[in-house]
Amino acid sequence: MRLLTHNMLACNIKGVTNGYPLRLEAEKWVEKEVDFNADFLRGVFPKIEWPALVGAVRALGCHDLLPQDAPNPSALDSDDDFLHRFHRALLQLHVEEGALVCPETGRRFPISKGIPNMLLHEDEV
């Protein structure tokens, strides 16, 4: 599961009002090469929930990869180093095994072979 995916997932259990961001508990993660596409990164940047991305990156132990605060969007045109670090965090870090945890209920959604299982039990729908 890429951190781009993590950034879009939320807990949809009935009655949950604070289901985002899901806390990431990674047991195994890998880095996979992905072609660099600056235009894609510039387009997706405004849609990214920055604190959630930074939290996920730090949960993987990559504390210095991204700044705590979101940079000014103009950095995407002038700071090539930032753009490559953003690319690495968003697209190249893959969680293979672990769990996503709802911040409100503590419900764990397992990640197995890189695929998060977000299916709800009958009583959660």
- Per-residue pLDDT tens over the stretch 73-118: 988 999 999 999 999 999 999 999 999 999 999 999 999 999 999 9
Kind plus residue range of the DSSP H or E element containing 95: strand 93-101
pLDDT of residue 75: 85
pLDDT of residue 5: 98
The rounded distance, in Å, linking the Cα atoms of 106 and 68 is 25
Q: What is the pLDDT of residues 15-65, one digit of tens each?
A: 999 999 999 999 999 999 999 999 999 999 999 999 999 999 999 999 999
